[in-house]
Amino acid sequence: MAIYFDRTTKTFYLEGKDITYAFFINKYGFAEHLYFGKRISRDTLLHLRATGGEVASATVPGNVYNAPFCSYQQFPAELSFFGTGYFNEPTVHLLNAEGDRLTELLYDGYEILDEKPQMKTMPSMRGGKTLKLKLRDYATDFCAELYYTVYDDVSVIARRVVYRNERSEAVKLERAYSFTLSLPDMKRDVISFYGAWASERQIQRTPMHHGVISVDSKVSRSTHLNPSMVIATSNANEEHGEAIGIALMYSSHFVLKAEGLPNGAAQITGGINDFDFEWTLEEGEELETPEVIIAYSDEGIGGMSRELHDAAREYIIDKKFVKKSRPIVINNWEGTYFDFNAEKLKAIADGVRGTGVDTFVLDDGWFGKRNNDRCALGDWWVNEEKLPGGLDAIISHVNSLGMKFGLWFEPEMISEDSDIYRAHPEYAIKAPLRKNCYSRQQFVMDITRADVRDYIVDSVNSILDSHNIEYVKWDYNRHATELYSALLPKDRQSEFAHRYALALYELCERIIKTHPQVFFEGCAGGGGRFDYGMLYYFPQIWTSDDSDAHERTHIQYGTSIIYPMSAMSCHVSAVPNHQTGRSTDMKTRADIAHLGATGYELDTSSFTDDDRNVTRGQVEEYRKHEELILSGDLYRLENPFESNFFAFMAVSKDKGNAILTAYRALGGVNREIYRIKPRGLDKSKKYFVPELNLILGGDTLMNAGLIPPFEDGDFKTVTYHFEEK
Ligand code: GLA
């Protein structure tokens, strides 16, 4: 890994594992992009500048026509701006003290830093050599500092911008994106994710076109779609072609835009959503923008995912937990919903005794008068009517079974029917003159207020500090509406959504980081806040409230494009499935859940010895291959969005060990023979395949393939193991 500046050509070369990123400072001081892609020699790249079409464009301000290269519009940008001759999507847009909205951000120096500075207000990737490029609008002393970080073990570049006002007059930012990524052509597809509750991260692939393709959120969380995008060459598939993955480390209103430009080039921008956004910078103030992680591979979308997964595991997710054996939970939610008492909970924990399930998680309903979802959020004291002896009684029972205890919170929420709301109605987000929208009968707390944050931190921490709680599930069950804070001045209300994100990260710092021994799982009405901002704090996130195995093949497939398997919390639940009504075998449910951080979520109080034996076998099997889920390379062999099949394969880094799980949705009679080809093995190694009781070459396996013997019927799985011999 290296960052190198060639003083003669004024070119910066940033070199990561197998990538080069290069730009230069042109004669006007414009940071002009040259190349991003596979690692190349440190050659001059100035011959890549495209000429043509300047006449119709505006000249660089103050310069008479002097072709070629006399217009900002001709230059692929490192940071696009507005109103001074650059006509594509600007990365930054502001209101100057004079009332103009112009910027012209030009070179003002650089620094090369051995260690990447962590962001002050938001989570960011760790480590990595970093280039800090300073751009300045010389007319107004408005500055943009662009950070670029590269790593020698992943083909990923992390980028962000810090905007600073160095003038005595205030400036109002109306857009403050995190990056501009210039691409030489638009013969590419945009892969983005859409979704809703219980149907997260469905995949959409659209050819780029002239104009903008955009995805965003306006609901105070990153939502059931996702703050990410893949830009793939039109011919790219899982194995071949170029793919660039773009993931924002951000958990509130975001936007990502892919723009096809008039000259056939392309530009990607994004960050904090500028819809309903303004941010005032007084003299000397700065605004940090969320980091964007940009991964590259010429080995298809699969190769790109593996780079992102490695980057996340090495540089984002908490080192203490990311590759450590995970808790395997029994969660009572789908087993009881609100209808439980201490005896019932104990019986559920007893039901899995001796199976290897090692953590009992008490979900919603343990606090205040919370007997349904219409009340008590915010009343974070135990309901002793339901749980006589308090949490300690149930915790000691769980501990006596050799299990850890986990607890559910929804810290950012408040019920209208709660003691805390009756005492402090001002804690809820609400706008003057308007009635609030209800969603799940609850309101969102205005965590942009310091008093609300203090209340949340004190309530949650006092429970954690006074009980033996080793696991927390942190939920967030609704979109925010009526975005308004009584404590923000009228002309700063459009800062609300970003202030919400900053407040959320502060809560995580004050609750999660002060309990380093507790394992925190994220959740947001299923996977409504599944992003790298949250994964910095939560090693895993509940992937979806839809726990149906068939649906999960789609949701986990879509999620895996950007996020590692170890980040996906997946549970075996009851049948018929509570969300879809579908029945699938226990084996199928476990095989699909075992492709993530597995667990169980059903009423196990009536488990028989046979059920326990089955569960014990599943847990033992999971523990055997868990290392592959936590640290292995993922190969997506079959796409359930496009076929009747789904298959994931996880291969150890040394290629000595692998697991392949194949799934067939619908069975049938006299169907074509289904053959699957493993990938990622070492072609020169020999592997023992216990399911076949054969030793086969990696070359034979990967070229001749396998024919999985699915049982008759629908929703069946077959698993293979590969052990180097
Ligand atoms: C959300 C979560 C569920 C469960 C319920 C409890 O829907 O996604 O897993 O915790 O809330 O109310």
Q: How far is the CA of 599 from the centre of ligand 1 (A)?
A: 15
Contacts of the segment 35-39: beta carbons below 8 A, 24+ positions apart = 36/157, 36/181, 36/182, 36/183, 36/244, 36/296, 37/242, 37/296, 37/298, 38/296, 38/298, 39/15
Edge-to-edge strand ranges of the sheet holding 686-689: 633-638, 645-651, 657-664, 716-724, 686-689, 694-697
- Whether ligand 1 lies within 6 angstroms of the CB of 601 is answered as no
Is 531 an active-site residue? no
- Whether ligand 1 lies within 6 angstroms of the CB of 364 is answered as yes
Which burial class, exposed, middle or buried, applies to 118 when counting CB atoms under 10 A from its CB (0-12, 13-18, 19+)? exposed
pLDDT of 287 > 90? The answer is: yes
Contacts of the segment 576-583: beta carbons below 8 A, 24+ positions apart = 577/547, 577/548, 577/549, 578/334, 578/547, 579/198, 579/545, 579/546, 579/547, 579/548, 579/551, 580/546, 580/548, 580/550, 580/551, 582/548, 582/550, 582/715
CA-only gyration radius of the chain, Å:
27
pLDDT, mean of residues 443-454 = 98
Position 57 confidence tier, pLDDT thresholds 50, 70, 90: confident
pLDDT, mean of residues 327-336 = 98
Containing 145, the helix (H) or strand (E) segment is: strand 142-150
Q: How far is the CA of 524 from the centre of ligand 1 (A)?
A: 8
Q: How far is the CA of 577 from the centre of ligand 1 (A)?
A: 15
Whether the CB-CB separation of 362 and 337 falls below 8 Å is answered with no
Position 53 confidence tier, pLDDT thresholds 50, 70, 90: low
pLDDT, mean of residues 63-67 = 81
pLDDT tens figures, 478-487: 999 999 999 9
- One-letter amino acid at 348 equals I
pLDDT, mean of residues 446-475 = 98
For tokens 């090495």, name the residue.
Answer: 314
Question: Which of 340, 412, 545 should be mutated for ligand 1, with most atoms under 8 A from CB?
Answer: 545
Containing 600, the helix (H) or strand (E) segment is: strand 597-601
pLDDT of 699 > 80? The answer is: yes
**In whole angstroms, what is the distance from residue 33 CA to residue 181 CA?**
8
Peptide bond into 388 cis (omega under 30): no
Containing 701, the helix (H) or strand (E) segment is: helix 698-704
- Whether ligand 1 lies within 6 angstroms of the CB of 368 is answered as no
**Residue whose CA is closest, atom 6 of ligand 1?**
364
Position 207 confidence tier, pLDDT thresholds 50, 70, 90: very high
Is 114 an active-site residue? no
Q: What is the pLDDT of residue 532?
A: 98
Q: How far is the CA of 474 from the centre of ligand 1 (A)?
A: 10
pLDDT tens figures, 162-183: 999 999 999 999 999 999 999 9
DSSP string across 319-371: HHHHTSPPP-EEE-HHHHTT---HHHHHHHHHHTTTSS--EEEE-S-SBTT-S
Q: What is the pLDDT of residue 671?
A: 86
Between helices 586-593 and 549-560, what is the axis angle to 10°? 10
Q: What Cα–Cα distance (Å) separates residue 472 from each residue in 410, 519, 708?
A: 10, 6, 39
| Exposure string for 323-339, b = 16+ CB within 10 A, e = fewer | beebbbbbbbbbbbeee
Q: How far is the CA of 546 from the centre of ligand 1 (A)?
A: 11
pLDDT of 93 > 70? The answer is: yes
Q: How far is the CA of 296 from the centre of ligand 1 (A)?
A: 35
What is residue 179's three-state secondary structure?
strand
- Whether ligand 1 lies within 6 angstroms of the CB of 361 is answered as no
pLDDT tens figures, 667-677: 999 888 999 99
pLDDT of 55 > 80? The answer is: no
DSSP code at position 76: P
pLDDT of 715 > 80? The answer is: yes
**In whole angstroms, what is the distance from residue 237 CA to residue 635 CA?**
12
Cβ neighbours of residue 540 closer than 8 Å, sequence gap 6 or more:
326, 521, 522, 566, 567, 568, 569, 596, 597
- Whether ligand 1 lies within 6 angstroms of the CB of 406 is answered as no
Q: Give Cα 422 distance to the centre of its chain.
A: 36
**In whole angstroms, what is the distance from residue 82 CA to residue 85 CA?**
7
* DSSP-derived pairing of the beta strands 359-362 and 329-331: parallel
pLDDT of 37 > 70? The answer is: yes
Q: How far is the CA of 347 from the centre of ligand 1 (A)?
A: 21
What is residue 108's three-state secondary structure?
strand
Q: What is the pLDDT of residue 70?
A: 87
**In whole angstroms, what is the distance from residue 277 CA to residue 214 CA?**
17
**In whole angstroms, what is the distance from residue 246 CA to residue 226 CA?**
11
pLDDT, mean of residues 445-456 = 98
pLDDT, mean of residues 201-213 = 97
**In whole angstroms, what is the distance from residue 635 CA to residue 238 CA?**
8
Q: Give Cα 471 distance to the centre of its chain.
A: 21
- Whether ligand 1 lies within 6 angstroms of the CB of 88 is answered as no
**In whole angstroms, what is the distance from residue 723 CA to residue 314 CA?**
26
Position 612 confidence tier, pLDDT thresholds 50, 70, 90: very high
- Whether ligand 1 lies within 6 angstroms of the CB of 192 is answered as no
Position 445 confidence tier, pLDDT thresholds 50, 70, 90: very high
Q: Give Cα 152 distance to the centre of its chain.
A: 22
- Whether ligand 1 lies within 6 angstroms of the CB of 474 is answered as no
Position 67 confidence tier, pLDDT thresholds 50, 70, 90: confident
Q: What is the pLDDT of residue 64?
A: 86
* 635 DSSP β-pair partners: 649
Q: What is the pLDDT of residue 1?
A: 59
- Whether ligand 1 lies within 6 angstroms of the CB of 525 is answered as yes
For tokens 């209208």, name the residue.
Answer: 416
**Residue whose CA is closest, atom 11 of ligand 1?**
525
Mean pLDDT (the chain) is 97
- Ligand 1, atom nearest to 526 Cα: 8
Question: Which of 329, 337, 364 should be mutated for ligand 1, with most atoms under 8 A from CB?
Answer: 364
pLDDT of 52 > 80? The answer is: no
Question: Which of 338, 377, 475 should be mutated for ligand 1, with most atoms under 8 A from CB?
Answer: 475
Q: Which of 216, 358, 363, 475 is catalytic?
A: 475
Whether the CB-CB separation of 658 and 628 falls below 8 Å is answered with yes
Whether the CB-CB separation of 589 and 573 falls below 8 Å is answered with yes
Q: Which of 363, 531, 545, 633 is catalytic?
A: 545
- Whether ligand 1 lies within 6 angstroms of the CB of 408 is answered as yes
Which burial class, exposed, middle or buried, applies to 684 when counting CB atoms under 10 A from its CB (0-12, 13-18, 19+)? exposed
Q: Which two tokens stand for residue 23?
A: 């730009």
pLDDT, mean of residues 306-314 = 98
Q: How far is the CA of 417 from the centre of ligand 1 (A)?
A: 19
Distance between terminal CA atoms of the chain?
Answer: 35
Whether the CB-CB separation of 56 and 41 falls below 8 Å is answered with no
- Whether ligand 1 lies within 6 angstroms of the CB of 542 is answered as yes
Q: What Cα–Cα distance (Å) separates residue 595 from each residue in 356, 623, 634, 643, 689?
A: 17, 12, 10, 19, 19
Q: What angle do CA 491, 494, 498 make, to 5 degrees?
A: 135
Q: What is the pLDDT of residue 51?
A: 73
DSSP code at position 428: B
* Phi and psi torsions of 71, nearest 5°: -135, 135
